[in-house]
Structure 1
Amino acid sequence: MNQKKTIPTLIVLGSGGHTTEMFRLLSGTDLNIYKPRYYTIATTDKMSAKKMNEFELNTLKDMDVSFINRSRHVGQSYFSSIFTTLWAFFTVIPIVYRVRPKLILVNGPGTCIPIVIASLLLWVLFLINRPKIIFVESICRVQSLSLTGKILQYLPVHILVQWPQLTEHYPKTQYIGRLV
Protein backbone atom coordinates (compact mmCIF):
# COMPACT_ATOMS: atom_id res chain seq x y z
CA MET A 1 0.00 0.00 0.00
CA ASN A 2 1.35 3.42 -0.96
CA GLN A 3 1.16 5.69 2.06
CA LYS A 4 1.45 9.48 1.78
CA LYS A 5 4.40 11.09 3.49
CA THR A 6 3.44 13.31 6.37
CA ILE A 7 5.02 16.54 7.54
CA PRO A 8 5.40 17.09 11.29
CA THR A 9 4.15 20.66 11.69
CA LEU A 10 4.60 23.11 14.55
CA ILE A 11 1.86 25.74 14.63
CA VAL A 12 2.08 28.83 16.81
CA LEU A 13 -1.28 30.17 17.93
CA GLY A 14 -1.64 33.75 19.07
CA SER A 15 -4.56 35.35 20.76
CA GLY A 16 -7.61 36.82 19.07
CA GLY A 17 -7.45 37.38 15.34
CA HIS A 18 -4.15 35.52 14.89
CA THR A 19 -5.76 32.27 15.99
CA THR A 20 -8.81 32.82 13.79
CA GLU A 21 -6.61 33.50 10.77
CA MET A 22 -4.43 30.46 11.47
CA PHE A 23 -7.43 28.12 11.58
CA ARG A 24 -8.81 29.64 8.38
CA LEU A 25 -5.45 28.94 6.79
CA LEU A 26 -5.34 25.38 8.16
CA SER A 27 -8.90 24.65 7.05
CA GLY A 28 -7.71 24.94 3.46
CA THR A 29 -5.00 22.30 3.87
CA ASP A 30 -4.96 18.52 3.77
CA LEU A 31 -4.61 17.68 7.45
CA ASN A 32 -3.64 14.12 6.52
CA ILE A 33 -0.36 15.50 5.17
CA TYR A 34 0.42 18.02 7.91
CA LYS A 35 0.61 15.68 10.87
CA PRO A 36 1.28 15.28 13.56
CA ARG A 37 0.41 18.88 14.35
CA TYR A 38 2.11 20.37 17.38
CA TYR A 39 0.46 23.52 18.66
CA THR A 40 2.04 26.07 20.95
CA ILE A 41 -0.21 28.41 22.87
CA ALA A 42 0.63 31.06 25.45
CA THR A 43 -0.21 29.95 28.98
CA THR A 44 -2.54 32.93 29.38
CA ASP A 45 -4.44 32.32 26.13
CA LYS A 46 -7.55 30.30 26.97
CA MET A 47 -9.44 31.26 23.80
CA SER A 48 -6.87 29.75 21.42
CA ALA A 49 -6.88 26.47 23.34
CA LYS A 50 -10.66 26.31 23.03
CA LYS A 51 -10.57 27.08 19.28
CA MET A 52 -7.85 24.46 18.78
CA ASN A 53 -9.95 21.82 20.52
CA GLU A 54 -12.94 22.70 18.32
CA PHE A 55 -10.81 22.57 15.16
CA GLU A 56 -9.11 19.29 16.08
CA LEU A 57 -12.23 17.63 17.49
CA ASN A 58 -12.06 14.60 15.19
CA THR A 59 -8.27 14.32 14.89
CA LEU A 60 -6.98 14.45 18.46
CA LYS A 61 -4.67 11.50 17.81
CA ASP A 62 -2.73 13.54 15.24
CA MET A 63 -2.02 16.56 17.41
CA ASP A 64 -0.30 17.72 20.57
CA VAL A 65 -0.22 21.00 22.44
CA SER A 66 2.39 22.80 24.53
CA PHE A 67 1.71 25.87 26.60
CA ILE A 68 4.52 28.39 26.55
CA ASN A 69 5.40 31.73 28.11
CA ARG A 70 4.44 34.88 26.25
CA SER A 71 7.23 36.94 24.74
CA ARG A 72 5.37 40.16 25.27
CA HIS A 73 2.11 40.92 27.00
CA VAL A 74 -0.29 43.48 25.56
CA GLY A 75 0.83 46.92 26.73
CA GLN A 76 4.21 45.66 27.98
CA SER A 77 7.14 47.96 27.26
CA TYR A 78 9.58 46.94 24.56
CA PHE A 79 12.46 47.11 27.04
CA SER A 80 10.94 44.70 29.54
CA SER A 81 9.81 42.44 26.70
CA ILE A 82 13.49 41.71 25.99
CA PHE A 83 13.63 39.75 29.24
CA THR A 84 10.31 37.95 28.81
CA THR A 85 11.31 37.02 25.26
CA LEU A 86 14.62 35.61 26.50
CA TRP A 87 12.78 33.59 29.13
CA ALA A 88 10.33 32.31 26.52
CA PHE A 89 13.25 31.41 24.23
CA PHE A 90 14.88 29.18 26.83
CA THR A 91 11.60 27.48 27.64
CA VAL A 92 10.78 26.61 24.01
CA ILE A 93 14.12 25.03 23.13
CA PRO A 94 13.14 21.64 24.65
CA ILE A 95 9.78 21.75 22.84
CA VAL A 96 11.33 22.40 19.44
CA TYR A 97 13.98 19.74 20.08
CA ARG A 98 11.33 17.18 21.07
CA VAL A 99 9.00 17.98 18.17
CA ARG A 100 11.68 18.32 15.46
CA PRO A 101 9.23 19.92 13.03
CA LYS A 102 9.75 19.86 9.29
CA LEU A 103 7.41 22.84 8.96
CA ILE A 104 6.73 25.75 11.31
CA LEU A 105 3.65 27.89 10.61
CA VAL A 106 3.43 31.29 12.25
CA ASN A 107 1.24 34.28 11.58
CA GLY A 108 2.09 37.16 13.80
CA PRO A 109 2.09 36.74 17.53
CA GLY A 110 5.37 37.68 19.20
CA THR A 111 5.27 34.25 20.80
CA CYS A 112 6.58 32.85 17.52
CA ILE A 113 9.89 34.76 17.66
CA PRO A 114 11.48 32.51 20.33
CA ILE A 115 10.27 29.39 18.52
CA VAL A 116 11.71 30.51 15.19
CA ILE A 117 15.04 31.48 16.76
CA ALA A 118 15.20 28.25 18.82
CA SER A 119 14.57 26.14 15.71
CA LEU A 120 17.28 27.97 13.77
CA LEU A 121 19.73 27.65 16.66
CA LEU A 122 19.07 23.92 17.03
CA TRP A 123 19.57 23.54 13.28
CA VAL A 124 22.87 25.47 13.33
CA LEU A 125 24.03 23.23 16.18
CA PHE A 126 23.11 20.16 14.08
CA LEU A 127 20.57 19.01 16.66
CA ILE A 128 17.58 19.06 14.28
CA ASN A 129 17.11 19.19 10.53
CA ARG A 130 16.36 22.62 9.16
CA PRO A 131 12.61 23.20 9.23
CA LYS A 132 10.82 25.25 6.61
CA ILE A 133 9.47 28.30 8.43
CA ILE A 134 6.49 30.10 6.93
CA PHE A 135 5.20 33.38 8.31
CA VAL A 136 1.84 34.53 6.97
CA GLU A 137 1.33 38.22 7.67
CA SER A 138 -2.11 39.19 8.90
CA ILE A 139 -4.71 40.34 6.38
CA CYS A 140 -5.04 43.59 8.35
CA ARG A 141 -1.41 44.54 7.60
CA VAL A 142 -1.97 46.57 4.43
CA GLN A 143 0.75 49.24 4.52
CA SER A 144 3.52 47.76 6.68
CA LEU A 145 4.63 44.53 8.28
CA SER A 146 3.87 43.83 11.90
CA LEU A 147 6.73 44.01 14.40
CA THR A 148 7.02 40.22 14.14
CA GLY A 149 7.23 40.44 10.33
CA LYS A 150 9.84 43.18 10.54
CA ILE A 151 11.98 41.01 12.84
CA LEU A 152 11.54 37.82 10.83
CA GLN A 153 12.56 39.45 7.54
CA TYR A 154 16.17 39.25 8.75
CA LEU A 155 15.96 35.49 9.32
CA PRO A 156 15.68 32.61 6.84
CA VAL A 157 11.88 32.61 6.90
CA HIS A 158 9.38 32.62 4.02
CA ILE A 159 7.26 35.73 4.56
CA LEU A 160 3.91 35.62 2.78
CA VAL A 161 1.79 38.76 2.51
CA GLN A 162 -1.80 39.21 1.44
CA TRP A 163 -1.47 42.69 -0.08
CA PRO A 164 0.68 43.33 -3.18
CA GLN A 165 1.94 46.76 -2.07
CA LEU A 166 3.84 45.17 0.83
CA THR A 167 6.27 43.54 -1.61
CA GLU A 168 7.29 47.01 -2.84
CA HIS A 169 8.46 48.06 0.64
CA TYR A 170 9.66 44.66 1.84
CA PRO A 171 11.47 42.81 -0.97
CA LYS A 172 11.88 39.59 1.01
CA THR A 173 8.11 39.11 1.12
CA GLN A 174 6.06 37.13 -1.35
CA TYR A 175 2.57 38.18 -2.35
CA ILE A 176 0.19 35.21 -2.30
CA GLY A 177 -3.19 36.92 -2.47
CA ARG A 178 -5.88 36.82 0.12
CA LEU A 179 -5.76 33.61 2.13
CA VAL A 180 -8.13 34.28 4.97
Structure 2
Amino acid sequence: MPDWNVPTMIVLGSGGHTSEMLKLVSKLPIPYHPRTYVLADTDRLSEAKVHALEELLNESSNHHDQHQINKHQQHKILKMKRSREVHQSWSSTILTTAHALKDSLVIMIEDRPDLLLCNGPGTCVPLCFILFLFRVLCILPRSKIIFIESICRVKSLSLTGKILYHIADQFVVQWPSLTKVYDRVTYLGKIF
Protein backbone atom coordinates (compact mmCIF):
# COMPACT_ATOMS: atom_id res chain seq x y z
CA MET A 1 0.00 0.00 0.00
CA PRO A 2 1.45 3.41 -0.95
CA ASP A 3 2.64 5.61 1.90
CA TRP A 4 1.70 8.84 0.07
CA ASN A 5 -1.66 10.48 -0.08
CA VAL A 6 -3.55 13.08 -2.12
CA PRO A 7 -5.87 15.22 0.01
CA THR A 8 -8.97 15.32 -2.17
CA MET A 9 -11.94 17.69 -2.09
CA ILE A 10 -15.13 16.48 -3.75
CA VAL A 11 -17.94 18.94 -4.50
CA LEU A 12 -21.44 17.52 -4.40
CA GLY A 13 -24.63 18.99 -5.77
CA SER A 14 -28.11 17.77 -5.16
CA GLY A 15 -29.64 14.92 -7.13
CA GLY A 16 -27.80 13.61 -10.16
CA HIS A 17 -24.56 15.47 -9.51
CA THR A 18 -24.16 13.74 -6.16
CA SER A 19 -24.99 10.30 -7.58
CA GLU A 20 -22.49 10.70 -10.40
CA MET A 21 -19.72 11.97 -8.16
CA LEU A 22 -20.18 9.28 -5.53
CA LYS A 23 -19.93 6.60 -8.24
CA LEU A 24 -16.60 8.10 -9.22
CA VAL A 25 -15.38 8.37 -5.62
CA SER A 26 -16.23 4.70 -5.01
CA LYS A 27 -13.63 3.82 -7.68
CA LEU A 28 -10.81 6.07 -6.46
CA PRO A 29 -7.67 4.29 -5.30
CA ILE A 30 -6.78 4.43 -1.61
CA PRO A 31 -4.16 7.24 -1.91
CA TYR A 32 -6.95 9.76 -2.57
CA HIS A 33 -7.44 10.62 1.08
CA PRO A 34 -8.33 12.28 3.29
CA ARG A 35 -11.51 13.09 1.42
CA THR A 36 -13.40 16.30 2.08
CA TYR A 37 -16.92 16.49 0.71
CA VAL A 38 -18.34 19.97 0.19
CA LEU A 39 -22.06 20.48 -0.24
CA ALA A 40 -24.54 23.30 -0.08
CA ASP A 41 -25.99 24.04 3.34
CA THR A 42 -29.49 23.52 1.89
CA ASP A 43 -28.67 20.05 0.50
CA ARG A 44 -30.38 17.62 2.87
CA LEU A 45 -29.80 14.35 1.02
CA SER A 46 -26.14 14.28 0.01
CA GLU A 47 -24.73 14.02 3.54
CA ALA A 48 -26.49 10.71 4.21
CA LYS A 49 -25.27 9.38 0.86
CA VAL A 50 -21.67 10.30 1.71
CA HIS A 51 -21.84 8.52 5.07
CA ALA A 52 -23.33 5.43 3.39
CA LEU A 53 -20.57 5.38 0.74
CA GLU A 54 -17.77 5.87 3.25
CA GLU A 55 -19.17 3.09 5.45
CA LEU A 56 -19.28 0.81 2.41
CA LEU A 57 -15.70 1.73 1.50
CA ASN A 58 -14.59 0.94 5.06
CA GLU A 59 -16.35 -2.43 4.98
CA SER A 60 -14.79 -3.34 1.63
CA SER A 61 -11.34 -2.63 3.09
CA ASN A 62 -11.71 -5.19 5.90
CA HIS A 63 -8.97 -7.37 4.44
CA HIS A 64 -6.43 -4.65 5.36
CA ASP A 65 -4.90 -4.03 8.76
CA GLN A 66 -7.35 -1.99 10.91
CA HIS A 67 -4.82 0.84 11.36
CA GLN A 68 -4.45 1.15 7.59
CA ILE A 69 -8.24 1.23 7.16
CA ASN A 70 -8.60 4.10 9.61
CA LYS A 71 -5.67 5.94 8.06
CA HIS A 72 -6.91 5.64 4.49
CA GLN A 73 -10.65 6.07 4.93
CA GLN A 74 -10.67 9.48 6.55
CA HIS A 75 -13.39 11.84 5.40
CA LYS A 76 -15.26 14.92 6.49
CA ILE A 77 -18.19 16.96 5.25
CA LEU A 78 -18.17 20.74 4.96
CA LYS A 79 -21.13 22.92 4.06
CA MET A 80 -21.26 26.26 2.32
CA LYS A 81 -23.76 28.75 0.92
CA ARG A 82 -24.89 28.28 -2.67
CA SER A 83 -24.11 31.01 -5.16
CA ARG A 84 -27.60 30.64 -6.53
CA GLU A 85 -30.58 28.55 -5.46
CA VAL A 86 -32.84 27.02 -8.07
CA HIS A 87 -35.31 29.69 -9.31
CA GLN A 88 -33.46 32.47 -7.43
CA SER A 89 -33.51 35.77 -9.32
CA TRP A 90 -30.24 36.67 -11.01
CA SER A 91 -30.18 40.10 -9.38
CA SER A 92 -30.16 38.61 -5.88
CA THR A 93 -27.21 36.33 -6.68
CA ILE A 94 -24.68 39.08 -6.03
CA LEU A 95 -25.12 38.76 -2.28
CA THR A 96 -25.37 34.96 -2.22
CA THR A 97 -22.30 34.66 -4.44
CA ALA A 98 -20.36 36.90 -2.04
CA HIS A 99 -21.34 34.56 0.82
CA ALA A 100 -20.31 31.53 -1.25
CA LEU A 101 -16.93 33.08 -2.02
CA LYS A 102 -16.36 33.84 1.67
CA ASP A 103 -17.27 30.25 2.60
CA SER A 104 -14.98 28.96 -0.18
CA LEU A 105 -12.09 31.05 1.08
CA VAL A 106 -12.48 29.67 4.61
CA ILE A 107 -12.77 26.10 3.30
CA MET A 108 -9.62 26.40 1.15
CA ILE A 109 -7.60 28.00 3.94
CA GLU A 110 -8.58 25.25 6.37
CA ASP A 111 -8.56 22.23 4.04
CA ARG A 112 -5.81 22.94 1.46
CA PRO A 113 -6.61 20.11 -1.00
CA ASP A 114 -4.17 18.81 -3.59
CA LEU A 115 -7.08 17.80 -5.83
CA LEU A 116 -10.51 19.36 -6.35
CA LEU A 117 -13.03 17.10 -8.13
CA CYS A 118 -16.27 18.55 -9.43
CA ASN A 119 -18.92 17.67 -11.98
CA GLY A 120 -21.18 20.60 -12.48
CA PRO A 121 -23.09 21.89 -9.47
CA GLY A 122 -22.86 25.65 -9.18
CA THR A 123 -21.47 25.18 -5.68
CA CYS A 124 -18.13 24.25 -7.22
CA VAL A 125 -17.61 27.56 -9.07
CA PRO A 126 -16.52 29.70 -6.09
CA LEU A 127 -14.36 26.86 -4.75
CA CYS A 128 -12.62 26.52 -8.12
CA PHE A 129 -12.06 30.28 -8.36
CA ILE A 130 -10.55 30.44 -4.87
CA LEU A 131 -8.30 27.43 -5.55
CA PHE A 132 -7.23 28.96 -8.88
CA LEU A 133 -6.42 32.24 -7.08
CA PHE A 134 -4.42 30.31 -4.44
CA ARG A 135 -2.39 28.70 -7.23
CA VAL A 136 -1.71 32.06 -8.88
CA LEU A 137 -0.58 33.44 -5.50
CA CYS A 138 1.56 30.31 -4.91
CA ILE A 139 -0.40 29.43 -1.76
CA LEU A 140 -1.37 26.02 -3.18
CA PRO A 141 0.84 25.82 -6.29
CA ARG A 142 0.50 22.04 -6.84
CA SER A 143 -3.27 21.79 -6.42
CA LYS A 144 -5.26 20.61 -9.43
CA ILE A 145 -8.86 21.10 -10.54
CA ILE A 146 -10.54 18.28 -12.42
CA PHE A 147 -13.95 19.06 -13.88
CA ILE A 148 -16.04 16.17 -15.20
CA GLU A 149 -18.92 17.25 -17.39
CA SER A 150 -22.17 15.40 -16.77
CA ILE A 151 -23.06 12.55 -19.10
CA CYS A 152 -26.22 14.39 -20.09
CA ARG A 153 -24.12 17.07 -21.83
CA VAL A 154 -23.89 15.70 -25.38
CA LYS A 155 -23.64 18.77 -27.66
CA SER A 156 -22.63 21.66 -25.41
CA LEU A 157 -21.15 22.35 -22.00
CA SER A 158 -23.21 23.16 -18.93
CA LEU A 159 -23.17 26.72 -17.60
CA THR A 160 -20.75 25.62 -14.88
CA GLY A 161 -18.60 23.91 -17.49
CA LYS A 162 -18.47 27.07 -19.61
CA ILE A 163 -17.44 29.10 -16.55
CA LEU A 164 -14.69 26.66 -15.49
CA TYR A 165 -13.49 25.64 -18.95
CA HIS A 166 -10.36 27.81 -18.87
CA ILE A 167 -9.32 27.30 -15.25
CA ALA A 168 -9.74 23.53 -14.85
CA ASP A 169 -6.47 21.62 -15.20
CA GLN A 170 -8.30 18.67 -16.67
CA PHE A 171 -11.71 19.02 -18.30
CA VAL A 172 -13.30 15.63 -18.91
CA VAL A 173 -16.26 14.98 -21.21
CA GLN A 174 -18.19 11.77 -21.71
CA TRP A 175 -19.23 12.19 -25.35
CA PRO A 176 -16.80 12.29 -28.31
CA SER A 177 -18.95 14.92 -30.06
CA LEU A 178 -17.76 17.52 -27.51
CA THR A 179 -14.13 17.06 -28.59
CA LYS A 180 -15.07 18.48 -32.01
CA VAL A 181 -16.42 21.68 -30.43
CA TYR A 182 -14.03 22.24 -27.51
CA ASP A 183 -10.27 21.80 -27.83
CA ARG A 184 -9.32 21.70 -24.13
CA VAL A 185 -11.42 18.65 -23.27
CA THR A 186 -10.44 15.06 -22.68
CA TYR A 187 -12.82 12.34 -23.76
CA LEU A 188 -12.68 9.27 -21.52
CA GLY A 189 -15.97 7.62 -22.41
CA LYS A 190 -18.66 6.94 -19.84
CA ILE A 191 -17.30 7.56 -16.34
CA PHE A 192 -20.38 7.44 -14.15
- TM bin, normalised by shorter chain, reads over 0.9
1:148 corresponds to: 160
CA distance in structure 2 between the partners assigned to 1:52 and 1:127 by the alignment: 29
SS at match of 1:39: strand
CA distance in structure 1 between the partners assigned to 2:154 and 2:168 by the alignment: 23
Aligned residues: 178
**Unpaired segments of 5 or more residues in structure 2?**
59-68
CA distance in structure 2 between the partners assigned to 1:97 and 1:123 by the alignment: 12
State which drifts further: 132-141 or 55-64: 55-64
CA drift at 1:4: 2.8
2:33 corresponds to: 35
CA drift at 1:166: 0.8
SS at match of 2:154: coil
2:52 maps to 1:54: yes
CA distance in structure 2 between the partners assigned to 1:133 and 1:67 by the alignment: 19
Alpha-carbon RMSD across the aligned residues, in angstroms, is 1.6
2:5–2:33: 8 Å Cα contact kept in structure 1?
yes
Instruction: Give the partner amino acid of 1:136.
Output: I
When residues 3 and 174 of structure 1 are mapped into structure 2, their CA distance, relative to the original with a 3 A threshold, is closer
SS at match of 2:191: coil
TM-score (norm 1): 0.92
CA distance in structure 2 between the partners assigned to 1:41 and 1:91 by the alignment: 11
CA distance in structure 1 between the partners assigned to 2:52 and 2:109 by the alignment: 27
CA distance in structure 2 between the partners assigned to 1:130 and 1:149 by the alignment: 22
1:70 corresponds to: 82
When residues 77 and 173 of structure 1 are mapped into structure 2, their CA distance, relative to the original with a 3 A threshold, is farther
CA drift at 1:119: 0.8
SS at match of 2:48: helix
SS at match of 1:110: coil
CA drift at 1:172: 1.3
CA distance in structure 2 between the partners assigned to 1:38 and 1:79 by the alignment: 31
Of 111, 118, 121, the residue aligned with 1:109 is: 121
SS at match of 2:10: strand
CA distance in structure 1 between the partners assigned to 2:172 and 2:127 by the alignment: 18
2:146–2:168: 8 Å Cα contact kept in structure 1?
no
CA drift at 1:124: 2.0
SS at match of 1:179: coil
State which drifts further: 125-134 or 15-24: 125-134
SS at match of 1:79: helix
Q: What does the per-residue CA deviation read over 1:133-159, in whole Å, with 9 as the maximum and x for residues that have no partner?
A: 100000111111100000011224311
CA drift at 1:168: 1.2
1:132 corresponds to: 144
Q: What does the per-residue CA deviation read over 1:72-101, in whole Å, with 9 as the maximum and x for residues that have no partner?
A: 111123333233222201121121111111
Question: Which has the higher Rg, Structure 1 or Structure 2?
Answer: 2
CA distance in structure 2 between the partners assigned to 1:78 and 1:112 by the alignment: 18
